[in-house]
């Protein structure tokens, strides 16, 4: 089980693509979408939010602190927050579990489960970097949405696939979403 959380940073397409690929690979997933992400989705996606929710095996409300995923006894292999807003990153770094996303992140860190945060912000200030370092020191993976260009992408989809492929690599899930360095 992979928990996918989509927060209010630009780049919600990364989270949607990850859900699509997990479905294609028959990997069970759960989803949480922040209120801010719903606003961003209306501006960035051409699909209704309900269609995004339907990509998930399980959906949890953003403000449901009693959700099963917020308990250490809930079994999941990994949490991916994609995209991850700086507000969410700061809350996680400073142990402020005030909503379903930051609480499940707290669970992932305390239970030593895999957690991947995909920030999509630039430029970064010192506070952002310090918060990333805090999470990294606790075992979290910081995977910024920085597409590679060595594969000569011809479309935004190829750039999205690169980042989602790197997320899957970090989860140790085989994928062919992008051309790897040195591949013909």
Q: What is the CB neighbour count within 10 angstroms for residue 97?
A: 17
In angstroms, what CA-CA distances link 171 with 3, 61, 88, 112, 182? 12, 24, 21, 14, 22
In angstroms, what CA-CA distances link 113 with 1, 54, 179? 12, 25, 29
Strands (E), the chain: 2-6, 29-33, 58-60, 78-84, 114-119, 141-142
Q: What percent of the chain has pLDDT over 90?
A: 93
What would the pLDDT profile of 59-81 be if each residue is shown by its tens digit? Answer: 999 999 899 999 999 999 999 99
Residue 38 to residue 17: CA distance in whole angstroms: 16
Band of pLDDT at residue 97, cut at 50, 70 and 90: very high
Task: Indicate if the pLDDT at residue 184 is higher than 80.
Answer: no
So what's the pLDDT on residue 162? 96
Residues in the chain: 184
Instruction: Characterise 62 by phi-psi region: left (phi > 0), alpha (psi -120 to 50), beta (else).
Output: alpha
Structure tokens that stand for 183 in this block: 């591949």
What would the pLDDT profile of 120-144 be if each residue is shown by its tens digit? Answer: 999 999 999 999 999 999 999 999 9
So what's the pLDDT on residue 179? 87
Task: Indicate if the pLDDT at residue 29 is higher than 90.
Answer: yes
Domain limits, the chain? 2-170
Of 33, 27, 57, the closest CA to residue 45 belongs to 33
CATH number, domain 2-170, options 3.10.580.10, 3.30.110.30, 3.30.70.1560, 3.40.50.1950: 3.40.50.1950
Torsions phi, psi of 18, nearest 5? -60, -45
Torsions phi, psi of 34, nearest 5? -70, 160
Per 3-state DSSP, the chain is made up of helix, strand and coil in percentages (nearest 5) of: 40, 15, 45
């Amino acid at each position: 089980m992979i928990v996918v959380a989509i927060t209010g940073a630009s780049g919600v397409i990364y989270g949607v693509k990850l859900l699509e690929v997990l479905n294609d690979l028959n990997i069970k997933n759960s989803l949480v979408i922040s209120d801010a992400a719903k606003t961003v989705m209306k501006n960035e996606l051409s699909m209704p939010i309900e269609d995004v929710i339907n990509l998930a095996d399980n959906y949890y409300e953003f403000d449901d602190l009693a959700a099963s995923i917020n308990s250490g006894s809930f079994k999941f292999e990994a949490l991916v927050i994609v995209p991850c807003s700086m507000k969410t990153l700061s809350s996680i770094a400073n142990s402020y579990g005030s909503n379903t996303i930051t609480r499940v992140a707290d669970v992932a860190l305390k239970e030593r489960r895999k957690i991947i945060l995909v920030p999509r912000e630039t430029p970064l200030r010192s506070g952002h970097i310090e918060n990333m370092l805090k999470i990294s020191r606790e075992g979290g993976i910081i995977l910024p949405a920085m597409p590679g260009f060595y594969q000569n992408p011809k479309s935004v989809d190829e750039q999205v696939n690169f980042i989602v492929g790197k997320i899957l690599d970090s989860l140790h899930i085989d994928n062919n979403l992008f051309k790897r360095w040195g591949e013909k």
